[in-house]
Structure 1
């Protein structure tokens, strides 16, 4: 079945509506202010959702969920249908590193690149330190669109290789130049941005976060119910918002009888959403200190994150690098290798709780350990061992 998407509406004032096309990538022009660029949300004809949508066989690719997504006009790469892994204490890990480019961003970019293809964009432009850029480049390549990526000089060494493998143009320019250059590429060259072009607050593509709803769908289908709580790594809050919207839709459609509380976890070196929730503001700007969690060290919180927490009765909290490293090690001991940022959700649960939720608890692990800045930098010289020394070392490893 084709998409049931019917239009765009302001997330700040749902009464303000726009046609579905073109995507308004710089925020809602009617409700945005000088201080906040309010994002757009996507509406659907929910009365026409097929009765069997949530009982169909599981499959890779977002086509399964097409009625509740914007039009899938660009080909996919088999994204989604990632595993839900149960830890010994009953906590579930939704492992998004199993997506085609090893992160959750593939769900967003399948939708954002589809929007670019359907609206006749001449290319894709994105600012990203890692996951988002790699994913955008892959889906742009799949759709036959050129892709330009502005990336950080501090990004992991493997990221540039990953981007260039897809044929992307990779540019490293001063931070203050990124958004002005992106806007010129959009205005003068006809590219479509799949990340923010505003300086006031992160908006991002209105179609992209819809892809994250499918994480909620998959969790609910596999558990047979909505979980009691979902803990997520949080930067600008687009993942947080998309997953929350997915669970709200499930309850609206009668598929589940509850909506989980959403817990946003940020690095203590930043914490913009935590600040916004503490002060009651729609967005907040904070100084950013050093952190290994480079994928979520955002100085500006997005309004989407505030909406997600308000609508689900959730909370924002921060964790230290040590606490994320402990969660990363816990996951690795269970065979799940993720980057430091991706372990933030589990770190938030272990650090802050609550541990007594009435129902399943899910932590979303967003991306592979290959994405970390420290990965593959250590070298290990060969060591000569006697057989007795080897047996002693192996015995120690078992204890």
Structure 2
């Protein structure tokens, strides 16, 4: 049987839903008709929802429809943009019962150990369809690593503008995949991305606009997290999402909203945006009642979500789900990181923001899901030795064990 194909039909403006564009080419600079020099509105992918077979959400659908093992998010192809790039087996990450009523969606189990693999399967597919020789990205973390991997898998070149303090583990990821890695001062990254697009013809998988719009197809990959959560748990009461630009936040909300639209569920969880208190552009936009804004970012080790620029996607998701933004200190995130590690889950500090957000809010009425976005291997502190050599004499070993609280 032929695997199901996309039911995507068009790109629709979030600035004015009455404005739509053809599905192709993928818009990488937001909506050209509603955006201004200072505010950019994203575009969304629309689908022929009336043609969606809701059996898509039943167990065994993939096998019955010939979706091969290892196809990754292709399991959900009817509700995704065209998947022209080969898979690395992204998605299908575990939903772990962490405590009564609390579940962790562990995105570190993706091929490059983060949620960004879902996005990059979709954006690299757009590059393949465009016939581009490669992709270009500004990233010092998960996005760059995933872009490099999916480009390599598709036989494309990848240029990554990193910051000069990129964590060693991320730098190793990028070079392993054969990316062209160019560390530059952070404010120079996005202008250089635009120049590479103009002069080299590479497909951009980073934001190119004044406020964040991102790639038209990118957030669609994140919807599959909602589909997977629903398959195991139904619709939870709340989902806590580590939030930088808000694409993951929006994708998770949109996935649940589609499930409700199709009659698969009768509720959409409240979505909580978990941002570093050192910045928090989404929280600032909500406070000011504006579609998006820019903030100064202070010191934080949660480098994966320390964004100065927000985007309208996050505002839409919070408003529609009756959720709210949460501002978290590094201490709150470190406490959540230790709590996760004590349960066997090693996560990057940014990835612990979801659990930190739940702890800040307290109990919610019903099941809660905290999304953990990436592996602790990508944290800023990784790459330094933390254990000192020990004299192998038993007396010294026993002394160290007792100092650690182990009876010996």
TM-score w.r.t. structure 1 length? Answer: 0.96
Deviation at 1:111, TM superposition (A): 0.3
Q: Deviations over 1:265-307 (max 9, x none)?
A: 1011111111111111111211111101000000111111011
Q: Distance in 2 between matches of 1:230 and 1:167?
A: 36
Residue 154 of structure 1 is matched in structure 2 by 165
Indicate conservation of the 8 Å contact 2:237/2:368, yes or no: yes
Indicate conservation of the 8 Å contact 1:21/1:119, yes or no: no
Residue 12 of structure 1 is matched in structure 2 by 15
Deviation at 1:100, TM superposition (A): 0.1
Deviation at 1:28, TM superposition (A): 0.7
Residue 123 of structure 1 is matched in structure 2 by 134
Q: Indicate which of 196, 208, 220 corresponds to 1:210.
A: 220
Indicate conservation of the 8 Å contact 1:195/1:203, yes or no: no
Q: Distance in 1 between matches of 2:202 and 2:248?
A: 24
Q: Deviations over 1:93-137 (max 9, x none)?
A: 000000000000000000000011012122100000110000000
Residue 378 of structure 1 is matched in structure 2 by 385
Q: Indicate which of 236, 249, 260 corresponds to 1:227.
A: 236
Q: Distance in 1 between matches of 2:359 and 2:186?
A: 34
Residue 255 of structure 1 is matched in structure 2 by 264
Q: Distance in 2 between matches of 1:301 and 1:203?
A: 9
Residue 108 of structure 1 is matched in structure 2 by 119
Deviation at 1:26, TM superposition (A): 0.8
Q: Distance in 2 between matches of 1:184 and 1:141?
A: 22
Is residue 342 of structure 2 the alignment partner of residue 339 of structure 1?
A: no
Q: Distance in 2 between matches of 1:168 and 1:65?
A: 29
Deviation at 1:398, TM superposition (A): 4.7
Runs (4+) of structure 1 exceeding 6 A deviation are: none
After TM superposition, the structure 1 = structure 2 runs for residues 89-100 of structure 1, keeping only pairs within 5 Å, are 89-100=100-111
Residue 369 of structure 1 is matched in structure 2 by 376
Q: Indicate which of 187, 201, 207 corresponds to 1:176.
A: 187
Deviation at 1:81, TM superposition (A): 0.3
Deviation at 1:385, TM superposition (A): 5.4
Residue 67 of structure 1 is matched in structure 2 by 78
Q: Distance in 2 between matches of 1:51 and 1:302?
A: 31
* Structure 2: gaps of 5 or more residues: 63-68
Q: Indicate which of 321, 342, 364 corresponds to 1:356.
A: 364
Is residue 142 of structure 2 the alignment partner of residue 134 of structure 1?
A: no
Is residue 320 of structure 2 the alignment partner of residue 311 of structure 1?
A: yes
Q: Distance in 1 between matches of 2:149 and 2:394?
A: 47
TM-score w.r.t. structure 2 length? Answer: 0.94
Q: Indicate which of 268, 276, 279 corresponds to 1:267.
A: 276
Q: Deviations over 1:136-181 (max 9, x none)?
A: 0000000011110000111101222210111110111233332222
Q: Distance in 1 between matches of 2:38 and 2:194?
A: 18
Q: Indicate which of 46, 50, 53 corresponds to 2:53.
A: 50
> Aligned pairs, how many?
395
Q: Deviations over 1:169-209 (max 9, x none)?
A: 011123333222211211222111001112x1111101011
Q: Indicate which of 234, 239, 248 corresponds to 2:248.
A: 239
Larger CA deviation: 332-341 vs 84-93: 84-93
Q: Deviations over 1:217-239 (max 9, x none)?
A: 0000011x100000010000000
SS in 2 for 1:337: coil
Q: Indicate which of 176, 193, 217 corresponds to 1:165.
A: 176
Deviation at 1:31, TM superposition (A): 0.6
SS in 1 for 2:54: coil
Cα pair distance change 1:329/1:379, threshold 3 Å: closer
Q: Deviations over 1:327-362 (max 9, x none)?
A: 000000111100000000100110223x032x2100
SS in 2 for 1:52: helix
Q: Deviations over 1:31-59 (max 9, x none)?
A: 10121111110000011112310113376
Deviation at 1:250, TM superposition (A): 0.5
Larger CA deviation: 387-396 vs 150-159: 387-396
Is residue 97 of structure 2 the alignment partner of residue 86 of structure 1?
A: yes
Q: Distance in 2 between matches of 1:177 and 1:290?
A: 20
